[in-house]
Amino acid sequence: MSEAPVIDVRGLTKRFGPRTVVDHFDIQVPKGAIYGFLGPNGSGKTTTIRMLCGLLTPDAGEGTCLGFDVRRDAAHIKEQVGYMTQKFSYYEDLSIRENLDFVARMYRLDRRKERVQQALDDLGLADRAKQLAGSLSGGWKQRLALAACLLHDPQLLLLDEPTAGVDPKARRDFWDEIRRLSARGVTVLVSTHYMDEAVQCDFITYIAYGRKLIDGPSTEIPVMVGLETWRVEGPDLAALEMRLKSEPGVEQVARFGAVLHVSGTDKPLLNAAVERLRAQGTHRWTLQVAGLEEAFIYLMAGARDNFAADPKVPT
């Protein structure tokens, strides 16, 4: 990357009382990239995003966002960032047009009426512009929120679980839009729980207990995790699954429809276990390249719900 990264922060830390929610977090996001932000509930994704756009003051750490200092220049950052909150945060008792118009005024945009009308047309909401935002379904609310945070042509989009509670069709449309924006040079940082969304990202960072576990181009993540995966097809997979889980070297058995993916990081041990079962001849075994999905299931298994006390960190 020749250009300076859009987000470049080091050592970002946030504490709420005795709890360290984000712990020395580093991230570099190149311009125009779609950066996936993954991790279990309560791992600090929302807190990190809020620190990046100036809603929270970091307790420690430094860096820049769009070239502005994240600690001192929150006001400048806000001018050029579109932030989509996890929960719908527009006025339910205002109409769609009124909401967009309000946001346009917040950013002091010129040609306001024109921009709002354009956004309504893009949304396909021009004929429902007078409808109250509160009466929209989840998918439409999400589209309204995206349109609202794009009104001021931001250089950077921060999306906090934008597709939670949205149907698959709307999700697909949403991601098409994100890729169009990325192609136009808009940088996107998006947090998500969905595997199929994670694979759409150019880069991925995985965080748990406020700390980064892994970070890199999405194609390299499986290699970095270092999993060996066997694909198994055949009858009575439930029984086989039970059996596999007690074998040494088998760290993860994941079911995808009529197929099992059996993975482990200790290759000789895993392969020995597989050979023993393979000798029975009941199932078809194929060694395959571990994908992102296995990698994530593996990462998530290691760090469940982060609202529970962190067993590794003494408080």
Partner 1 sequence: MSRAAPARKPDGHFFSLRRFGAVLYKEFIQMRRDHITFGMMIGLPLIQLFLFGFAINADPRNLPTLVEIGDNGPLTRAVISGMQQSGYFDFRGQVAGTAAGEEALRRGVANFVVVIPQNFERDVVRGRSPQVLIAADASDPSAVGGAAAALSGIVNVAIRETLIGPLAQPSAAPPFSVVVHREYNPEGKTSTNIVPGLLAIILSMTMVMITAVAIVKESERGTMEMLIATPVRPLEVMLGKILPYVFVGYVQTGVFLVAASVVFHVPFDGSWLAFFWGFNLFIVVNLALGFLISTAARNQMQAMQLSFFTILPSILLSGFMFPFGGMPGWAQFIGQGVPATHFLRVIRAVMLKGGDVPDVAFECGALVLILIVISGIALLRYRQTLD
| Minimum CB distance to partner 1 smaller for 1 or for 75 | 75
Q: Are 73 and 145 in contact (CB under 8 A)?
A: no
Residue 309 within binding range of partner 1, rule CB under 8 A: no
- Kindly list the distances between the CA atom of residue 171 and the CA atoms of 120, 185, 263, in Å, as whole numbers in the listed order: 19, 21, 30
State the nearest-atom distance from the C-beta of 89 to partner 1, in Å. Answer: 4
Give the nearest distance from C-beta 291 to partner 1 in angstroms. Answer: 31
Q: Does 239 bind partner 1 (CB under 8 A)?
A: no
Q: Which residues pair with 263 in a beta bridge?
A: 229, 252
Q: Closest approach of Cβ 88 to partner 1, in Å?
A: 7
CA 109/CA 126 separation, integer angstroms: 20
Instruction: Kindly list the distances between the CA atom of residue 128 and the CA atoms of 144, 170, 296, in Å, as whole numbers in the listed order.
Output: 12, 18, 40
- Out of 6, 56, 178, 232, which residue is the one contacting partner 1 (CB under 8 A)? 56
Assess 92 for contact with partner 1 (CB under 8 A).
Answer: yes
State in angstroms the smallest separation of the CB of 108 from partner 1.
8
**Is position 48 an interface residue for partner 1 (rule: CB under 8 A)?**
no
Residues 93-122, interacting with partner 1 (CB under 8 A): 103, 106-108
Contact status: 79 vs partner 1 (CB under 8 A): yes
Strand ranges (DSSP E) for 169-274? 187-192, 203-208, 211-217, 228-233, 252-256, 259-264
130 scored as a contact of partner 1 (CB under 8 A)? no
**Between 85 and 263, CB nearer to partner 1:** 85
Residues 6+ apart with CB under 8 A from 140: 125
- Class of residue 93 by CB neighbours under 10 A (exposed 0-12, middle 13-18, buried 19+): exposed
Which of 31, 45, 50, 261 binds partner 1 (CB under 8 A)? It is 50
> Given the rule CB under 8 A, which residues bind partner 1?
50, 53-57, 74-75, 78-79, 81, 83, 85, 87-92, 103, 106-108
